[in-house]
Amino acid sequence: MSNIMDAKIWVDTIDLPTYPVGEPNKNPLFLEKRVYQGSSGKIYPLAFTDELIDEKVMKTYEVVYLENEYIKVMIMPEMGGKIYRAYDKTNNYDFVYYNHVVKPALVGLAGPWVSGGIEFNWPQHHRPSTFSPIEYAIEENEDGSKTCWVSEIDRMYGTKGMAGFTVYKDKAYIEVRGQLYNRTEVPQTFLWWANPAVEVNDYTKSIFPPDVHAVFDHGKRDVSRFPIATGVYYKMDYSEGVDISRYKNLQVPTSYMAYHSDYNFVGGYDFSVEAGILHIADHHISPGKKQWTWGNGDFGQAWDRNLTDEDGPYIELMTGIYTDNQPDFTWLAPKEEKTFKQYFMPYKKVGEVKNATIDAVLNLEVVEDIARVMLYTTSIFEGLTMSLYLDDELIYEQPIEEISPVAAIEESIELKSKVEEYRLEVIVRKSNGQELISYRPAKPEILQTPDPAKPALEPKDIKTCEELFLTGLHIEQYRHATYQPEDYYLEALKRDEGDIRNNNAYGLLMYRRGNFEESEKYFRKAIETVTAKNPNPYDSEPYYNLGLTLKKQGRYSEAYDAFYKSVWSSAWQDSGYYEIACINCINEEWELGLEHIDKSIVRNYHNTKARNLKSSILRILGRNESSVKLALETIDIDPIDFGAVYELYKNYTILDDKELADKYFKRLNDLLRGYHHNYLELAIDYGNGGLYEDAIDILSLYDEGEDSYPLINYYMGYYYMRADDKDKAVEAYEKAAAIKPDYCFPNRLESILVLAEAMYINNKDSKAPYYLANLLYDKKQYQKAIKLWEASIEKDNTFAIASRNLALAYVNKNDDTKKGLFYLEKAFDLDQTDARVLFELDQLYKKLQRPYKERLTFLEEHMETVEKRDDLFIEYITLYNNIGDYSKALELIANRKFHPWEGGEGKVTTQYKRCRIELAKEAIVSNKAEEAIKLLQECTVYPHNLGEGKLPAAAENDIYYFMGMAYELIGEESKAVECYDKASYGIDEPTDAMYYNDQPADMMFYQGLALAKLNRVSEAKGMFNKLFDYGENHIYDNKKIDYFAVSLPDFLVFEDDLNVKNRVHCLYLMGLGELGIGKINSGLKYLQEAYQLNMNHQGIMVHRELNEKFVKM
């Protein structure tokens, strides 16, 4: 042991080849119905980056290294604090996927995402800051271990998430200590999925515990047996029995999450190198065990190329803490902290693990009459004993003199006869007789596969107010993208206006949205009901919430009373007393504030906001030593707590200890790292407690260089007003108004008060109403936002983004396309370099059914801007296909490298196929069969510049139908029949095709045509009739977005009328059905009606002009 090296930690730099990204978009994006990873894909107040640059450069990154005798770990604070590399020194094995190049793809919530390493996804998946820098700190611990902390305060919801990565001297694992803290005054939701990537090949297997017999998809919308799948999963038929734990068997993108396990591990193993990775955590808080893969087919290989140059494919073995699915969010109460530990470690030679702890890994396999026991340990153990039992009777015992992480041990034990595995048990004991690890297989039994989840019912269809409350709460908790919680709360209140839970829930929803006056009414109604029989309710949450909304309205005395009543309930004492103490400080009642903040801390010792407020009060009372002591204790709890470091700086300055004051001043600036969000978070903490001079001092530390941020000065003006310095307030407000508005997207509730006051003090300010409108629109106060954007434009009609925002609001919220068009055209006229606005304007022209050539001409007048965005360029290509210039479309596609969004695949490949199919049809009509065959064969292979690969079950019925016709034309009957046969397979019933991997219903038309060519006329007619019947039966459906949607990138600009969209779809299918059975005029009538509703539907366009030669039965 004495020869083992000490654990080390150091900060260094590394040069990595990097593909840069473009500048984030300056327009705020209100992606209200975007679905991302099964929940809301809204990104406001984050900026959106969707430009990827294909020229690689060398870039230097700051990294933190942790190392001991066995492992070396590299942490990347600049990329969301991920573990970028984890390396097993004993066998030269990267036990997480090491990507030697930083190659972002459009996978992240806000755009760029990089594969490899271990990403820590919080408070949602993927981590919003996955491609952004966060704070970090290093610690050298008393036991010789070393720790790197990474931390951030989430911009979207205000919670704080930290991870402490620790390496011990003699342990071959990484310990991760998670600390999650709700800094806000209201409950928040989160999930925590650590996401290790693992290099894969044909010999790789995901190692799930032996009791995992079923796995769920996202949202538990689908279920499969595991590891041998026997049904349809991800549209793949596994009925023959396929081991989906093996990477080589997964051809398509696939997620699965364990239904249940009583074991504490999950991992992966590469049998070709006999090494792997394991995650260990207590299954009581870490039920999440997931595998994700892009699939090993052409589709997955394209994504491999998008994400790396030379490092090949990987899978993700995700591990969920306080979550077992995606989405599956857990609540954090106000000021609540949740902590946990999880471990990542390499292992070797053990194979398919049956049990694992942080100390040891064990496998037991029985082959015929031989029992093989394999053992690996994460540190050196001496004097172990391995015992094997049969029916609880000892049949073998073997002492192990020494074992270490350098090598595993395997014992082969001959049994007297072949025995069932469940009768055996292996136990490894330490020298003192204490059990180190054991495993006893479960007796085989028939296990029931769980049912998939069901979508929420419509509010009107739910029977009770309790169910309405629970459904609304579920939608809030899971951050559902398209269902709204208020629909359920209000339905309940329609039935029972006094319902406590629904009044409180709806009031809190209104509070979160900044509608303080409205929320007050519902809290008071809840209080009226809860106190009808008893003035002292069991749960005083409505009183606490009432206090919050009264405080935001500046009614401190009433708020004080409400908070005081809330602390009559134990559950609200830490938050209630904290708010009471804040009001004491606003009133400069320092001793009383100290008394109340102590009561808060007694209830919640790790409430760092309360601790920092107490430090401040002690400092103000001149009790500096006590203040310092408390701040140092707070740093022990949270080493990256801004407030505690600020208090140390202030106290040591007062105590005239220059050395320590300078130390903590530097530390404070290092932690705040010039990031405006951090300065505001800290200043608001002080401002909410009436410590306005401290708030101003903190904001004054912000270096106003090129990246000056308007809200810094707006908040300074607000705090100067409260500090009775109106002259400086006016100066600060005027300065804020003059600062460049780029990326200023406020979302804090406090900003409502700040910006409202700024508008009052400086009525010439055009930007304050713009910023406040952004905030309120995000909070769903649409009409107020519209009025404020209008006010902003009245004061300054040269600011393009305000006009653009107003345009989107007019169209989406007021259904006023006339005004929307006026302001969107104005926005583009003001800044013709803004490709996002040009894309949105073209989408509006498309929505308004502008002629193709008019749109095309307009885009060609602005080609430099068009070329900035893939989505806009694809629209440009689409227009060439629409006007029949297929050769031009083909040329444009060939000369550009495309970067698809995850889940948004299929856009460029659709146009790639469209131009070739149409050129092939022209060639067939012109008797140029060989040319047609070449074009159609090209449709079945996607070139690399498209950025996409083909799914195994890609719907190519039309391609093979026309290919069959081309072969017929040159007399190659056998090849024609082969093509028609391929074209005849597919779905049996039409549906909506919503996702990239859905088979479009119109492919049934070509199935029918192909069947007719094969003389299977009755089957062909059946196909055509099904198309017509589907359209006729569903044309009046009331459509909603799929409740379990995982990714819907299309709902990004203008809201579609889903019922109109459905009508178009149904008319289209009815038209195809009629065409198929030879009713040409009737078919064209339906297609024409559909075309009138949507002239941009390419399927309608194509089939309206389909030559009768192609549909002749």
Same-domain pairing of 69 and 206: yes
Whether 1061 is in a domain gets the answer: no
Residues 308 and 336 in one domain: yes
Please indicate, yes or no, if residue 149 is contained in any of the structural domains: yes
Pairing status of strand 111-113 against strand 118-121: unpaired
What is the CA angle 382-386-387, rounded to 5? Answer: 150
Gap between the terminal Cα atoms of the chain? 83
The last residue of one of the domains, among 858, 877, 899, is 899
- DSSP alpha helices (H): ranges in 458-515? 465-477, 485-495, 500-512
Q: Is the dihedral of CA 58, 60, 63, 65 positive or negative?
A: positive
Instruction: Report the pLDDT averaged over residues 1074-1093.
Output: 96
Asked if 54 and 184 sit in the same domain, the reply is yes
Q: Are 698 and 686 in contact (CB under 8 A)?
A: yes
Question: What share of residues in the chain are helix, strand, coil (percent, to 5)?
Answer: 45, 20, 35
Kindly tell me if the per-residue pLDDT of 155 is higher than 70: yes
Q: Are residues 391 and 311 in the same domain?
A: no
**What pLDDT sits at residue 996?**
66
* pLDDT for 1073: 97
Q: How far apart are CA 369 and CA 359, in angstroms?
A: 29
Q: Are residues 327 and 390 in the same domain?
A: no
Q: What integer pLDDT is reported at residue 706 of this predicted model?
A: 66
CB atoms within 10 A of CB 435: 9
Structure tokens, 1015? 């003389």
Last residue of a domain, one of 391, 413, 439: 439
Cβ-proximal residues to 275 (8 Å cutoff; 6+ apart), any chain: 88, 91, 93, 95, 269, 346, 347, 348, 349
Please, which pLDDT band fits residue 1108 given cuts at 50, 70 and 90?
A: low
b/e for 192-218, b at 16 or more Cβ within 10 A?
Answer: bbbbbbbbbeeebbbbbbbebbbbbbb
Say if 1038 falls within a structural domain: no
Q: If pLDDT is split at 50, 70 and 90, which confidence band does 907 have? A: very high
**Mean pLDDT calculated for residue range 455-470:** 98
865 Cβ contact list (under 8 Å, min separation 6): 832, 833, 834, 835, 838, 872
Position 147 in a domain: yes
Q: What is the CATH number of the domain that holds 261?
A: 2.70.98.10
Last residue within a domain, chosen from 294, 314, 348: 348
The enclosing H or E element of 804 equals: helix 800-814
Q: What is residue 466's predicted lDDT score, i.e. its pLDDT?
A: 98
User: What pLDDT, on a 0 to 100 scale, did the predictor assign at position 931?
Assistant: 98
**pLDDT tens string 90-127:** 999 999 999 999 999 999 999 999 999 999 999 999 99
Whether the ω angle into residue 126 lies within 30 degrees of 0, i.e. cis, is yes
Report the alpha-carbon distance of residue 922 to residue 918 in Å, rounded. 6
Q: Tell me: do 248 and 394 sit in the same domain.
A: no
CA distance 879 to 859: 10
CB 343 within 8 A of CB 356: no
* Residue closest to 430 by CA, chosen among 387, 385, 398, 377: 385
pLDDT tops 70 at residue 727 = yes
On whether both 395 and 256 belong to a single domain, the answer is: no
| Domain shared by 369 and 336, yes or no | no
Higher pLDDT: 988 or 716? It is: 716
Q: Nearest-CA neighbor of 697 among 709, 685, 706?
A: 685
pLDDT-wise least confident of 143-152, 236-245, 899-908: 899-908
**547 has pLDDT over 60:** yes
Taking Cα atoms as reference points, which of 506, 491, 436, 431 lies closest to residue 460? 491
Is the per-residue pLDDT at 2 higher than 60? Answer: no
- Asked if residues 632 and 611 have their Cβ atoms less than 8 Å apart, the reply is no
Nearest Cα to Cα of residue 190 among 469, 545, 479: 479
Assess if residue 1102 is contained within a domain: no
**Residue 381 sits in a domain of what CATH number?**
2.60.40.10
Given this model, what pLDDT does residue 994 score?
A: 66
Tell whether 386 and 269 lie within a shared domain: no
Establish if 177 belongs to a structural domain: yes
Domain that holds residue 102: 14-348
- Structure confidence by residue, pLDDT tens digits, 991-1024: 886 666 778 999 999 999 999 999 999 999 999 9
Structure tokens at 520: 């007050």
292 and 255 in contact (C-beta within 8 Å)? yes
Total count of domains within the chain: 3
Q: What is the CATH number of the domain that holds 838?
A: 1.25.40
DSSP H or E segment with residue 1027: helix 1017-1034
Confidence of residue 65 (pLDDT cuts 50, 70, 90): very high
Across 614-621, average pLDDT: 99
Which amino acid would we find at residue 584?
N
What CA–CA distances, in Å, run from 414 to 417, 587, 825? 8, 81, 82
- Segments in 739-766 forming alpha helices (H): 749-761
pLDDT of 1044 reads 87
Does residue 632 lie in a domain region?
Answer: no
Q: Are 624 and 616 in contact (CB under 8 A)?
A: no
Q: What is the pLDDT of residue 705?
A: 72
Q: Which residues, other chains included, contact 301 with Cβ-Cβ below 8 Å and sequence gap of 6+?
A: 313, 949
Cβ atoms of 260 and 287 closer than 8 Å: yes
Closest C-alpha to 709, from 670, 681, 687: 681
In the chain, how long is the greatest CA-to-CA distance?
Answer: 100
pLDDT at 556 over 70: yes
Question: Helix, strand, or coil here: 845?
Answer: helix
**Domain membership flag for residue 193:** yes
Assess whether 32 and 133 both reside in one domain. Answer: yes
Length of the chain: 1113
As a whole number of angstroms, the distance between CA 613 and CA 70 comes to: 44
Q: Is the dihedral of CA 1030, 1032, 1034, 1035 positive or negative?
A: positive
430 and 327 part of one domain: no
Task: Specify the pLDDT at position 903.
Answer: 87
Domain shared by 157 and 290, yes or no: yes
Span 298-325, pLDDT tens digits: 999 999 999 999 999 999 999 999 999 9
- pLDDT tens, residue by residue, 1023-1057: 999 999 999 999 999 988 888 888 776 657 998 89
**Predicted confidence (pLDDT) at residue 1 exceeds the cutoff of 60:** no
pLDDT band at 591 (very low <50, low <70, confident <90, very high): very high
How many Cβ atoms are within 10 Å of 856's Cβ, its own excluded? 19
pLDDT tens, residue by residue, 670-720: 999 999 999 999 999 999 999 999 999 999 999 877 679 999 999 999 999
Classified as helix, coil or strand, 1050 is coil
User: Can you name the residues that pair with 816 across neighbouring β-strands?
Assistant: none
Mean pLDDT of 268-291: 99
